[in-house]
Structures are given as C-alpha cells and as structure tokens.
C-alpha cells in the first residue's frame, strides 16, 4: 500500500561505495527483488529504505512522504516508518513464546484512530484526531489469531522459537512482521536458511501472501531463480550500481548488458565473440568461433553507427555524480566469460567498433541432424526433465539444453543450429545490448561450395 522512491541515494564507508547514486521507483503493490552477487549493496539498499542504515546522500520517500533527505535534513527513524522487516535468520526473540513474539509489537502501537476489525485486521483512520489509543488485549489476540491463520501456525502459539523447525520459525517471523499492518514488507534473503524443498514451498507461499495482502514487497536475494519466479520487477545491482530494473522476462530476454545477461539464467548464457560489420541490408556478417561465419539479422531496424553515436551522446548527457571521495571499488567493464577447452581467453585489448559479442541462451542452441555447427559432446548432465549438454566446437565450449530423454555419450559427434529470434548482440566496447534478433551460422566450406 505504498510507493517508494529513491533518488540519487549513495552510501559509502570512506572510499568504499556500497550503493552508488541509486535511483529507483517501487510502485505500490509491487513485488520487487533486489538481485545481485554477494556484497553488491542490495542488503544495504534495503536497510536504508527501512531506516536501519543511514544513507550518505540522497532522498527516499515512502507514500510521497520523505523519510530521508540529506539536503533537507530529514531522517525518519526506522521505528516511525511503519514498515515490516523479515530478517535472514528470522531474529525471533528466544525468550518469548510465539504468541508473545507476535503480540509484543502490537502492545506497543499507540495511534489515534486505531481499531481492529472482527476478522482481526488492523484499521487506521488517517483523518482521526484526538487521543492516541492502545490496543486492548482482546484486539491484540484477534490480530494474533488472524496472522497466525494466514501462515498456519495456530498449533504452535504457546511454543518457544527454539522448539520449532526452521520452516515454522520462518512462518512465525512472517506473522510477527505482518501483525502491525506494515505499509511495506522488506525481506532480506528470507529463504536462504531453509533446505531446498522447503524453500520451493515457501516461495509459492510468499507469492500467495503478496497476492492476498496487497502490500508492497521488497525482497533481497542473490538467487536469480528466486528473483525470476517471485518478482513483478527485478532490480539488478552490481558493485553498488543499478544495472537493470525491469520485469523478469525482459531482464531474461533483453538484458541491457553482458553482466545482466550472464547473471540471470541457469545454465548461463553463451557468449560468442564476433568480428565484422553491418552490411547495406542492415544485417551483420560476423566471423565467429574461429572458422564460422554468422549473419545476424536484427528484429528491428537499426544502424550500428547511429547506435554508437547515440551511446556517446547519452554518456555525455549523464551527469557524473559529485564524488567527495574517489570510489575505491572502481566500476570496471564486466569481463564476460567465454568458455574454452583450455580455459584461455582471447585478449580483449584494442577493441574496434567492429567487435561484437553474441549472447545465445542455451535453449536457442538446438541439436539436429543437419545443423551447420559441428561439435562433440564435452559433458552431459541429465536431470530427467531436460539435459544440459556442453558441446565443444573447436576450442570453444557452448552450453545447450535439450528436453526429453536423450542419452549423450561423451565424445559423440553432433550437429546443431541456433534458432529463435532472441539472440542478443552486444558491443564489446561497452558491453551494452545493441539489439536482439536471429542468427544464421555458415561453415566456411559450405560458403565456398555455395
């Protein structure tokens, strides 16, 4: 029930920028995940919104009300922001029963116009004036009953947290967070302490919870799968800098740069270096994988030259944030992995505008009898539903996924092709996505024959 807006929020410790000039709008009723590798600043971001950490500079508003503004000198403490926070290790108070854990915060509410409905829902009358009141014992009990029903923990109300399993503790923590009716629910890797099976179950319950409460959820995770499955929007952060903020499928299908493409998706995307330029018909003819020639056709009309100009002018337009202290953890161009048999990678020096990277999701690499690409099976990992195959092409390794029950032998010769219109083309110079489209491979020998 709240819209959160961050503008130019920076948090640094000395020269270490944990969060660097982050601007973000979290819409009302959204389920946003903050995703990124460990140490990228996602938890810091969450804690700053909740008020547990003070930003160095910037401005944060919840529901249009500024809760932090470094210039105006506003800093609403965490306890006055009316938010809920679910901690990674639940932080249940071990000296209180489950009931007391949930009721403790409720007994502390003191507002004008506070009431509890018959169903146990907390109502706040924003226009109410006059005496602030506390909840009565009966009202608190009604709320406790309601939230414990939501997460199905009524049988455990009189137990101590130490007497509950991990999953039950997790539910108690959720109930405790829901009880005072927070406007926003923050969750800091809430599922990482659970075993794999329980995690899947809780994931679906969290989604139901979001649906039924209608609150705004902000969720921190380093697990891209969790982010993909739960979120309405994903905010991908690296080194304190926002990489992309989009819906999950957009992030997956149209990653803005090589970092995003690499981080999201399991098995990871294949990166293939290519050299060549745009022809007159708009298609790119690139030499790839040492011996092959690939033709990339963009799904929309695009001119490489114009794109580069656009990029340059945009870079010039973006204001570099004022830095009182130099950033120790400098931003560097993401070194996307090109997997090879020897493990050695090509040098990345002296890149010209004609150097490109093609990103191929594993599902676009399909194995078929008459495919133009020739390779041999390097490793095969069947899970039953699908098989992840790593294929050696020359010195390069490509990953593909094939569905169905097919058994591959290591060393087996196979042919494959690249299908679909979701192939990404990135510039090697700045790692940014140029466009998506289709890719046709040709072996040089066939070329000669044709």
Q: Of 105 and 420, which CB lies nearer to other proteins in the complex structure?
A: 105
Interacting residue with other proteins among 24, 46, 62, 83 (CB under 8 A)? 83
Q: Are 357 and 428 in contact (CB under 8 A)?
A: yes
**Does position 54 bind other proteins by CB under 8 A?**
yes
Q: Of 78 and 333, which CB lies nearer to other proteins in the complex structure?
A: 78
Q: Are 261 and 253 in contact (CB under 8 A)?
A: no
Cα gap 250→256, rounded to integer Å = 9
CB count, 10 Å around CB of 78? 16
Instruction: Please tell me whether residue 146 adopts helix, strand or coil conformation.
Output: helix
**Does position 307 bind other proteins by CB under 8 A?**
no
The string over 251-267, giving b where at least 16 C-beta atoms fall within 10 Å of a residue's C-beta and e elsewhere, is: bbbbbbbbbbbbbbbee
**Does position 169 bind other proteins by CB under 8 A?**
yes
Q: Of 287 and 329, which CB lies nearer to other proteins in the complex structure?
A: 329
Cα gap 311→308, rounded to integer Å = 5
Considering the complex, what minimum distance in angstroms separates the CB of residue 108 from other proteins? 5
Which tokens sit at 88? 């990674």
**Does position 7 bind other proteins by CB under 8 A?**
no
- DSSP E strands in 240-335: the ranges are 241-246, 270-278, 284-288, 292-298
Considering the complex, what minimum distance in angstroms separates the CB of residue 445 from other proteins? 59
**Does position 225 bind other proteins by CB under 8 A?**
no
Considering the complex, what minimum distance in angstroms separates the CB of residue 232 from other proteins? 24
**Does position 351 bind other proteins by CB under 8 A?**
no
Residue 411: CA count within 13 A, CB half-sphere: 0
**Which residues are paired to 309 by β-bridges?**
none
Interacting residue with other proteins among 161, 181, 255, 400 (CB under 8 A)? 161
Considering the complex, what minimum distance in angstroms separates the CB of residue 86 from other proteins? 9
**Does position 295 bind other proteins by CB under 8 A?**
no
Which tokens sit at 181? 């009716």
Interacting residue with other proteins among 38, 64, 80, 126 (CB under 8 A)? 80
**Does position 213 bind other proteins by CB under 8 A?**
no
Which tokens sit at 365? 């690499």
Cα gap 242→228, rounded to integer Å = 17
Can you tell me which residue has the tokens 């965490």? 78
Which tokens sit at 219? 């969720």
Q: Considering only residues 180-199, where is the footprint of other proteins by CB under 8 A?
A: 180, 193
Interacting residue with other proteins among 64, 73, 126, 214 (CB under 8 A)? 73
**Does position 160 bind other proteins by CB under 8 A?**
yes
Number of residues lying near other proteins (CB under 8 A)? 39
CB count, 10 Å around CB of 249? 10
Q: Of 160 and 308, which CB lies nearer to other proteins in the complex structure?
A: 160
- Which residues, other chains included, contact 446 with Cβ-Cβ below 8 Å and sequence gap of 6+? 372
| Contact code string over 251-270 relative to other proteins, x by CB under 8 A | --------------------
**Does position 94 bind other proteins by CB under 8 A?**
yes
Q: Considering only residues 368-427, where is the footprint of other proteins by CB under 8 A?
A: none
Binding site residues, other proteins, CB under 8 A: 50, 52, 54, 70-75, 77-80, 82-85, 87-96, 104-105, 108-109, 160-162, 166, 169, 176, 180, 193
């Amino acid at each position: 029930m709240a819209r959160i807006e961050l503008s130019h929020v920076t948090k640094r410790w000395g020269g270490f920028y944990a969060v660097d000039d982050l601007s973000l709008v979290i819409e009302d009723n959204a389920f946003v995940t903050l995703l990124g590798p460990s140490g990228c600043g996602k938890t810091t971001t969450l804690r700053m919104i909740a008020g547990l950490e003070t930003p160095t500079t910037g401005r944060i508003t919840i529901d249009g009300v500024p809760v932090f503004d470094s210039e105006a000198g506003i800093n609403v403490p965490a306890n006055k922001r009316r938010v809920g926070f679910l901690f990674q290790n639940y932080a249940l108070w071990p000296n209180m029963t489950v009931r007391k854990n949930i009721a403790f915060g409720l007994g502390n509410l003191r507002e004008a116009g506070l009431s509890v409905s018959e169903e146990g829902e907390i109502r706040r009358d924003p226009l109410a004036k006059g005496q602030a009141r506390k909840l009565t014992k009966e009202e608190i009990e009604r709320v406790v009953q309601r939230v414990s029903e939501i997460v199905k923990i009524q049988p455990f109300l009189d137990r101590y947290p130490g007497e509950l399993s991990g999953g039950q503790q997790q539910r108690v923590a959720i109930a405790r967070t829901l009880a005072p009716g927070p406007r926003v629910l923050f969750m800091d890797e809430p599922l990482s302490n659970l075993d794999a099976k329980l995690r899947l179950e809780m994931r679906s319950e969290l989604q139901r919870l979001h649906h039924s409460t209608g609150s705004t959820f902000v969720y921190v995770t380093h697990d891209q799968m969790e982010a993909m499955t739960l979120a309405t929007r994903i905010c991908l952060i690296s080194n304190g800098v926002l990489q992309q903020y989009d819906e999950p499928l957009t992030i997956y299908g149209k990653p803005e740069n090589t970092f995003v493409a690499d981080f999201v998706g399991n098995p990871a995307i294949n990166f293939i270096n290519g050299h060549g330029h745009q022809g007159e018909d708009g298609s790119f003819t690139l030499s790839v994988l040492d011996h092959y020639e690939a033709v990339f056709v963009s799904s929309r009309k695009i001119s490489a030259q114009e794109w580069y100009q656009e990029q340059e002018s945009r870079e010039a337009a973006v204001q570099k944030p004022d830095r009182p202290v130099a950033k120790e953890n400098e931003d560097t161009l993401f070194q996307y992995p090109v997997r090879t048999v020897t493990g050695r990678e090509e040098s990345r020096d002296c890149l010209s505008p004609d150097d490109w990277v093609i990103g191929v999701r594993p599902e676009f690499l399909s194995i078929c009898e008459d495919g133009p690409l020739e390779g041999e099976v390097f490793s095969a990992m069947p899970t039953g539903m699908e098989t992840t195959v790593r294929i050696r092409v020359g010195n390069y390794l490509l990953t593909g996924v094939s569905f169905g029950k097919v058994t591959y032998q290591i060393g087996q010769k196979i042919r494959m092709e690249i299908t679909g219109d979701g192939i990404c083309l990135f510039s090697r110079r700045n790692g940014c996505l140029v466009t998506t489209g289709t890719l046709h491979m040709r072996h040089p020998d066939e070329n000669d024959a044709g």
